[in-house]
């Protein structure tokens, strides 16, 4: 773990990271604990499990409908930020699953609505290997870092801003593939993230392998 000292002890804070594994939220939250509690925007389907939902609610996590432009969740995140909370958000909106995904605009709306918020990046590497423990020991790294020009520019759209931050994140955290079968199918075919290559992607991972394979075929043509 590196860079945790970059997290201010108080005041509105946005932590923006890559998303290859369900374990990214856990790894980032544990790494930040000495200084801040991160309230992440989490997909609403996780609340279907009543026990898990109660835990998530108790931790202050914010449910969001993936792929539906959930303005209610963003409004709540803005309210929490203005009150001085630390909010975690993934520009890609869902796990990459071997795909180069387009950045979603939510982080841009949050940055514009709460310009006083500190914005820090986090790069997680190795979290896709956590489910393989104890048969394989995962080597997980969590690195907090400062963005080059973290504030949204007056002439920059929320989408352009999100894309700019995601490009910086993916330089530090190249795409990793969750799931053994999916990882085996994509050996040697995982793309390097770029805005030109990025696709929207389906939330929840259904058809994600086909998307990833099609994406690599396109880049080879």
| Domain region containing 66 | 4-220
Strand partners, 121: 16, 145
3-state secondary structure of 106: helix
Distance, CA of 75 to CA of 41 (rounded, Å): 12
**pLDDT by 10s per residue, the chain, length 221:** 999 999 999 999 999 999 998 888 888 988 999 999 998 777 777 677 777 677 667 767 777 776 555 677 788 889 999 999 999 999 998 889 999 999 999 999 999 999 999 999 999 999 998 887 666 677 899 999 999 999 999 999 999 999 999 999 999 999 999 988 899 999 999 999 999 989 888 766 668 888 888 887 655 54
Give CA–CA dist 221/173, Å, rounded.
26
What is the pTM for the complete model shown? Answer: 0.87
End-to-end C-alpha distance for the chain, whole angstroms: 39
The total of structural domains in the chain comes to 1
CB-count burial class (<10 Å; 0-12, 13-18, 19+) for 34: exposed
Q: Which residue has the tokens 């690599």?
A: 216
């Amino acid at each position: 773990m590196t860079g945790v000292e970059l997290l201010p002890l108080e005041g509105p804070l946005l932590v923006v990271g890559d998303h290859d594994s369900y374990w990214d939220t856990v790894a980032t939250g544990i790494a930040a604990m000495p200084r801040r509690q991160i309230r992440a925007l989490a997909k609403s389907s996780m609340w279907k499990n009543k026990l898990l939902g109660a835990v998530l609610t108790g931790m202050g996590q914010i449910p969001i409908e993936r792929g539906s432009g959930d303005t209610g969740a963003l409004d709540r995140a803005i309210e929490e930020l203005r009150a001085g909370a630390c909010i975690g958000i993934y520009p890609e909106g869902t796990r990459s699953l071997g795909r180069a995904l387009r950045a979603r605009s939510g982080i841009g709306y949050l940055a514009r609505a709460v310009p006083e918020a500190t914005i820090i990046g986090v790069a997680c590497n190795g979290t896709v290997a956590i489910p393989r423990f104890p048969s394989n020991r995962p080597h997980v790294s969590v690195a907090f870092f400062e963005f080059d020009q973290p504030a949204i520019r007056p002439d920059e759209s929320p989408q352009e801003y999100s894309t700019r931050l995601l490009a910086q994140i993916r330089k530090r955290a190249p795409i990793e593939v969750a799931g053994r079968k999916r990882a085996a199918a994509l050996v040697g075919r995982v793309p390097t993230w770029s805005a030109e290559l990025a696709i929207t992607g389906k939330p929840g991972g259904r058809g994600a392998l086909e998307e990833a394979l099609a994406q690599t075929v396109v880049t080879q043509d």
